[in-house]
Structure 1
Amino acid sequence: MRVLVGGGTGFVGTALTQLLRARGHEVTLVSRQPGPSRITWDALAKSGLPSCDAVVNLAGENILNPLRRWNETFQKEVVQSRLESTQMLAKAITEAPQPPQAWVLVTGVAYYRPSLTAEYDEDSPGGDFDFFSNLVTRWEAAARLPGHSTRQVVVRSGIVAHALEANHVQGILNGVAPAPTTTNADFARALASALGRPAFIPLPSIVVQAVFGRERAIMLLEGQKVVPRRTLATGYQYSFPELGAALKEVVA
């Protein structure tokens, strides 16, 4: 298929692009900057949707950008960045002479503390797993976030590819792993095992709050249990359904 990906230069978008191309699909990115196999958002607004079979939107301001204060201005930017990109793509799809067969909107990539991927600005790599693993590298130990009730999940770009390729997939899918039962302590032990390092240095919640602000820190300190029932029902098969194997793959 010919797939158009909005926000495809970020962490999740890069992984999705690599996966789609590995499966033989042709990928064009919508980005702020022009380049090979890219179009800009301005060009999309002026010229309309290029010929494609599917569209994915991952674009949006990085909600966990530690360089931005969590105030009303930034909150509006986070929301508006998602609304504008989605509205622009939706308008282009509606006006296209031959609309694409599939339209996937990623409305919130997991922030279940600490997740393996996060939401990203389209041209800014990095995220909460990078922040977490950087602490591990610096301290030479697996940092452990406080609390014991948080469930860990793994976001899979494969779910998006599955949604594009399987004609029967419709509606909302939870992009999480099927075994989200890991506590912070379990996560720390699994990551320490993958890194071959001890898991004994805790990361105080006050540090997370100082970096991200109290409201944003909730995303990292108070996760949710999310079960991908409909994702599994569509027939999607996870490459790494368990946390330990997923972490070893990421570290490798």
Structure 2
Amino acid sequence: MNVLVTGGTGFVGGALVEHLVRKGHQVSLLSRRKGKDRRIGWFLLQDGRFPAESLDGVEIVINLAGENIGASRWTKATKSRILDSRVSLTGQIVSACQRRREQGDKLPRLLINASAVGYYGTSEETIFTEEDGPGSGFLAEVCRRWEAAAEEASPLGIRLIRLRLGVVFGPGGGMLAKMDKPFRYGLGGVVGTGRQWISWVHRDDVLGVIDQAIGDASMNGAYNLCSPNPVTMAELCHALARRLGGRAWATVPAYALRLAFGEMADEMLLSGQRVLPKRLSEAGYPFRHSRLEEALAAIYR
């Protein structure tokens, strides 16, 4: 297959591009800078403008692009970049497809568009599935508008899959790479109350679900891409401590996190959502890492 990937240089996207190349797909990557990997084609995103020619011959678009939501404190400008980097580029991809149809050119047959479990807002009690609507808060609004931009592809006859990703775990990056250093030195602790839910997924399963989505034409719409076994923050911290040979003896208080991270602390660190992958289970997807201890063992060998 001829596949175009946006956001293909990050923790998830980089692994995805390598995975697709190994499986024999012809891969092109939309990036702000041209890389040196000659196995893939490169298209440059200049001044935020999507190059329409990058769709020539493309059968599948996988859109993962977006400003890192946890890279810095959420100022008004940062929040604007987080939102615009997702909604604007997605809208430009769909607009380029609309122009291709008007010109009689061939369209991609599949758009796999990233989203996140933040779509549901936060709760300690509710169990969310794809049957639930969007919640409240900044991240929920970002996901709602991101998905709405992607949904404009459906009237064009493009099969659309919206992947609501949980927190992605894997070696060498992501949330665990930011958490594990204190635990390695016996200084790790539970964040906040520890009761907040973490709906997580191993990066291997992100790649596996994308494989299934490419090959299964019956898959369409929104899918929660997270393990069927979410955990609380306390469970995650204690499991991580055990894996790294220590214990989570301390507590990181909420006030310290709010002081350091502001609004971001409340939505990303002190709150969460318990999300189940109902539609993936119905589609028969076999999770490779469905339980936390197993996933951590695969990451910290």
- With the shorter chain as reference, the TM-score category is 0.7 to 0.9
Q: Relative to 1, partners in 2 of residues 1:91 and 1:30: Cα closer, same or farther, differing over 3 Å?
A: same
Aligned-pair RMSD on alpha carbons?
A: 2.6
What is the deviation of 1:190?
1.4
Q: Relative to 1, partners in 2 of residues 1:244 and 1:110: Cα closer, same or farther, differing over 3 Å?
A: farther
If asked which structure has higher relative contact order (CA below 8 Å, sep 6+), I would say: 1
Percent of residue pairs identical: 30
Q: Relative to 1, partners in 2 of residues 1:24 and 1:142: Cα closer, same or farther, differing over 3 Å?
A: farther
Is the CA contact (8 Å cut-off) linking 2:117 and 2:273 kept in structure 1? no
- The yes-or-no answer on 1:117 pairing with 2:168 is yes
Aligned equivalents of 1:12, 1:110: Cα separation in 2:
17
Aligned equivalents of 1:8, 1:22: Cα separation in 2:
15
The DSSP-based 3-state class of the residue aligned with 1:202 is: strand
Counterpart residue type for residue 253 of structure 2: P
- The yes-or-no answer on 1:99 pairing with 2:107 is yes
Q: Relative to 1, partners in 2 of residues 1:247 and 1:212: Cα closer, same or farther, differing over 3 Å?
A: same
Is the CA contact (8 Å cut-off) linking 1:116 and 1:128 kept in structure 2? yes
Q: Relative to 1, partners in 2 of residues 1:148 and 1:48: Cα closer, same or farther, differing over 3 Å?
A: closer
Q: Which has the higher strand share?
A: 2
Any stretches of 5+ residues in structure 1 without a counterpart?
119-124
Q: TM-score, normalised by structure 1?
A: 0.84
What is the deviation of 1:187?
1.2
Q: Relative to 1, partners in 2 of residues 1:251 and 1:207: Cα closer, same or farther, differing over 3 Å?
A: farther
What is the deviation of 1:248?
1.6
- The yes-or-no answer on 1:193 pairing with 2:242 is yes
**186-195 or 210-219: bigger deviation:** 210-219
Instruction: Summarize deviations over 1:53-91 as a string: whole Å, max 9, x none.
Output: 21111111111112xx32222211111110121012212
Is the CA contact (8 Å cut-off) linking 1:154 and 1:176 kept in structure 2? yes
The DSSP-based 3-state class of the residue aligned with 1:107 is: strand
Instruction: Summarize deviations over 1:151-189 as a string: whole Å, max 9, x none.
Output: 222234222332222111000001111111x22222122
Counterpart residue type for residue 116 of structure 2: G
Aligned equivalents of 1:71, 1:177: Cα separation in 2:
32
- The yes-or-no answer on 1:50 pairing with 2:101 is no
Aligned equivalents of 1:48, 1:25: Cα separation in 2:
16
Aligned equivalents of 2:186, 2:221: Cα separation in 1:
43
Is the CA contact (8 Å cut-off) linking 1:45 and 1:88 kept in structure 2? no
Aligned equivalents of 1:23, 1:142: Cα separation in 2:
39
- The yes-or-no answer on 1:136 pairing with 2:144 is no
The DSSP-based 3-state class of the residue aligned with 1:16 is: helix
The DSSP-based 3-state class of the residue aligned with 2:191 is: coil
Q: Relative to 1, partners in 2 of residues 1:29 and 1:74: Cα closer, same or farther, differing over 3 Å?
A: same
Is the CA contact (8 Å cut-off) linking 2:239 and 2:293 kept in structure 1? yes
Matched with 1:209 is 258
